[in-house]
Structure 1
Amino acid sequence: MAQAPQPTGYQHEDAWDVNWLRVDDIHELYYQQFGKKDGKTVIYLHGGPGGNCSKANTIFFNPQEYRVILLDQRGCGNSRPNANTTNNTTWHLVADLETLRKHLHIPKWHMVFGGSWGSTLALAYAQTHPASIGSLVLRGIFTVRAHELAWTMQPGGASMLFPDRWADFIHFLPMEERADHIESYYKRLMSDDTRISHPAAVAWNTWESSISTLYPDASALDKLHDPAYLLAHARMEAHYFRHGAWLEEGQLLRTRNIDRMRSIPTTVVQGRYDVVCPAATAWDLHDVFPESRLCFVDDAGHSVNEPGTKTMLVEVCDEYASLAV
C-alpha cells in the first residue's frame, strides 16, 4: 500500500549512502542518499548561498517513489573545507551538479528541487544542462538582480517592514564602518580570527533568519548554534552577493536563456509575503516562462517550513512522481 504523506511531510529512514566526492584539489562535496534505491532521482539544492542539508529536507518526497540526494555545496555544511570561498562560484556549483550526476550514474535527474538560492542554482543549471533535468520544483525565486539584493541588504526595502531587526544588523558595526556596511561585513566575515568573523556571522544570519517567516518563529535562529552553518552561510552570502553571483544583470530571466529550459516541466511555489525573496521575482520568471506553473501561498513568507508552503510542495512532488521524463 502506498504511503500517505503526513501533515508534516514524509518520514524517511536514515541515509543508505553517506559520502564525499572530490571535485578539485581543494573541495570535497558531502552528499547523502535516502529513499528508494532504484527510485526516481531528485536532487535537493539548499539555500544561502552557504546553507546545508539535513534529513529534514527529505520530507517532501515519498520514499516509495523517490531516491533523494542531498548535497552540501562547496564550502557548506559537511563539505570540506567548510566556509572556503576559493574556486567557489555559481559556475563551479553548476559543474559540481553534473559531476555528481555522472558519479552516481544517473542518466537524468527526475527532479531538481531548489528554494531561495537553490532556485538560483537550479535555474543556472537548467539553462546550462537542460538535457540533464526531467522536471523543476522551485520555491522563493531569487535571481540575484541588483534590486533584489538591494531589497534585503540596503535601506528602503525589507528594512521598512523590520526596522528594529535592521537596526540590530547595522548597529553591530562601529559607526565608522556603516558607510559601506556590506563591504565592512565582508571584511569581518573573511577574517581568519574567529573572534572577528563569528560575531559578524551571528549578526548577518540573524537579520535574514528573523525576517524569513510570516509569523515569528523562535526556532528560526536555531541554526546559529550549528558550527557547520554559522560562518559558511554568512561568509558565502557576502562572497556571492559581492560578486553578483557571477551572473550578468538579469541573466537568468533573459528569453534566450529561458528558451533552453522551456520544455522542462516546472512548478514555482511562492510565499505571498516572502520578504527575503519577494513574490515579484517569481512573477517575473513566470512572465518570461509562461509554460511554468506559479502557485502563490497566501499565508506564507520565505521559509520552506511554513505550513502552506510545505503542504503545497509535498503535493507537487507527489504529482511529479508520475511524470515520464
Structure 2
Amino acid sequence: MANPRACGHLDCGDGHQVWWELTGNPAGVPVVVVHGGPGGSIRPYYRRLIDPDRQQGVFFDQRGCGKSLPAGALDHNTTPDLVADMERLRDHLGFERWIVLGGSWGSTLALTYAEAHPERVAGLVVSGVYLARAFDVWWWWQGGGHVFPEVFAARDAWLPAAERGDPRSAFVHRILDPDPAIHRPAAHILGMAESQTLDLWPAAPGDDPCGITDAAVQSARIFAHFEAHDYFFAPDQLLRDARRLAGIPGAIIAGRSDMCTPPQSAWDLAQVWTDARLHIVPAAGHRWNDEQLCRPIIAELARLAGAG
C-alpha cells in the first residue's frame, strides 16, 4: 500500500489531537473513511477501497484511537464529539462536501454525521450497519449466541454465575475498572469471543490473557465507555432521524453471513432511507477484508464519485 501523500494531527480541543491521512488524487472526489470500533483505527487495507486516480481518500483515527492523542482517552470522547471532529477535519482540509463511507461502528458514526450535516454529504455508503437500538445491542451480546453457542458460552463461563444473565453490564464494568489486573483479562476474553463473529473463516483465538496488547486494551476500554453510555444516543435515535438522509444518494451493504451486525438492520435502514441502494451480498461477512463485501463498496463509491 502506498504511503499517504499528506498526514498530521488536528487539534480538536479538549486536549484531543486527531490523526488524519490523505491518499489518492488531490483533484479527485474526497471520500472520508470512518473506521469501526468504537476503539478501532485506520487499517492499511482500507486504502484499496479508494480509486487513487479518481478519488482522494480521507482517513482519520477517532478520539483516543490509533495515532490520535492522547491514546485511549475517555474524557470528552462521545458520539457528538466525534461528529464535531469530522466537521473540523472537513473544514481543515477545505472540502465543501465529501462522500462518507463507514463500516460497523463506522456506519453508526457515518449515519450520525450525515443526519447532523446532510448538506456536507455528497454521498453515503455504509456496511455492517449498527443502529445501536435495543435489538442491535441484544444481538451483539446475546442473540449471536444462537449461531455461536459454544463461543458465547465460553465467554460467559468466565464470569461469576450470578452475572451471566447480564454479560454486557458485567464485562463493561470490568473493562472500565482502573485496575489492569481486572480490565486486561476481561478485555481479552471479550475480544476472543468477538473475533469469532467477524469473518467467515476466523483465525483461532489465543488463550493467553497476558498476551493482549496495550493497544487492544485501550480499544476495549473505548468500546466499553461507549457501551456504558448507550453510544450517547436516545432510544432508536439513529433510525428515527434517518429521515434527514432524504435526498442523499448512497448505498447500504450487508453481508448475508454477517454474524456481528446481521442484515436486518440494513433492511430496516433501507425502509427509511429510500434514496439508498440496498445490497445484501451472498457469502459475505462483516469486515472490509472480505473480498465479496468490498466489491459493491468499491462500485458504489465509483458511482457516487462519478455523479459528484
In structure 1, the residue corresponding to 2:307 is in which secondary structure?
A: coil
- CA-CA distance at 1:227 after TM superposition: 4.0
CA contact 2:45–2:289 (8 Å) conserved in 1: no
CA contact 1:127–1:258 (8 Å) conserved in 2: yes
Residue matched to 1:265: 249
CA RMSD of aligned residues (A): 2.0
The answer to whether structure 1 residue 145 and structure 2 residue 129 are counterparts is no
Residue matched to 1:128: 116
Q: Counterpart amino acid of 2:118?
A: P
Residue matched to 1:296: 280
Residue matched to 2:295: 311
CA distance in 2: counterparts of 1:98 and 1:219, whole angstroms: 39
175-184 vs 241-250, greater mean Cα deviation: 175-184
Report the TM-score when normalising by structure 2: 0.93
- CA-CA distance at 1:74 after TM superposition: 0.8
Q: Counterpart amino acid of 2:160?
A: P
In structure 1, the residue corresponding to 2:242 is in which secondary structure?
A: helix
- CA-CA distance at 1:321 after TM superposition: 2.3
Residue matched to 2:202: 217
Aligned residue pair count: 305
137-146 vs 23-32, greater mean Cα deviation: 23-32
Gaps of 5+ in 2: none
CA contact 2:97–2:119 (8 Å) conserved in 1: yes
Change (3 A) 1:178 1:259: closer
Change (3 A) 1:228 1:195: closer
CA contact 1:78–1:228 (8 Å) conserved in 2: no
Report the TM-score when normalising by structure 1: 0.88
Q: 1:254-295 deviations in whole A, cap 9, x for unaligned? A: 2xx333221111111111121111111111111112221001
Residue matched to 1:79: 68
In structure 1, the residue corresponding to 2:57 is in which secondary structure?
A: strand
Change (3 A) 1:227 1:81: farther
CA distance in 2: counterparts of 1:320 and 1:212, whole angstroms: 27
CA contact 2:255–2:284 (8 Å) conserved in 1: yes
CA contact 2:46–2:288 (8 Å) conserved in 1: no
CA distance in 1: counterparts of 2:23 and 2:215, whole angstroms: 22
CA distance in 2: counterparts of 1:316 and 1:229, whole angstroms: 33
CA contact 2:250–2:300 (8 Å) conserved in 1: no
Residue matched to 1:15: 4
Residue matched to 1:233: 219
CA distance in 1: counterparts of 2:255 and 2:243, whole angstroms: 26
CA contact 1:152–1:276 (8 Å) conserved in 2: yes
Residue matched to 1:203: 189
Of 57, 77, 91, the residue aligned with 1:102 is: 91
Q: 1:5-54 deviations in whole A, cap 9, x for unaligned? A: xxxxxxx5211222111212321111111111222111100111111102
Residue matched to 2:231: 245
CA distance in 2: counterparts of 1:311 and 1:27, whole angstroms: 35
Residue matched to 1:33: 22
Residue matched to 1:49: 38
Of 270, 293, 304, the residue aligned with 1:320 is: 304
Q: Counterpart amino acid of 2:86?
A: L
Gaps of 5+ in 1: 1-11
- CA-CA distance at 1:298 after TM superposition: 1.0
Q: 1:73-111 deviations in whole A, cap 9, x for unaligned? A: 0111111122221111111111110011111111111x1
Q: Counterpart amino acid of 1:218?
A: A
- CA-CA distance at 1:170 after TM superposition: 1.1
Of 104, 117, 134, the residue aligned with 2:105 is: 117
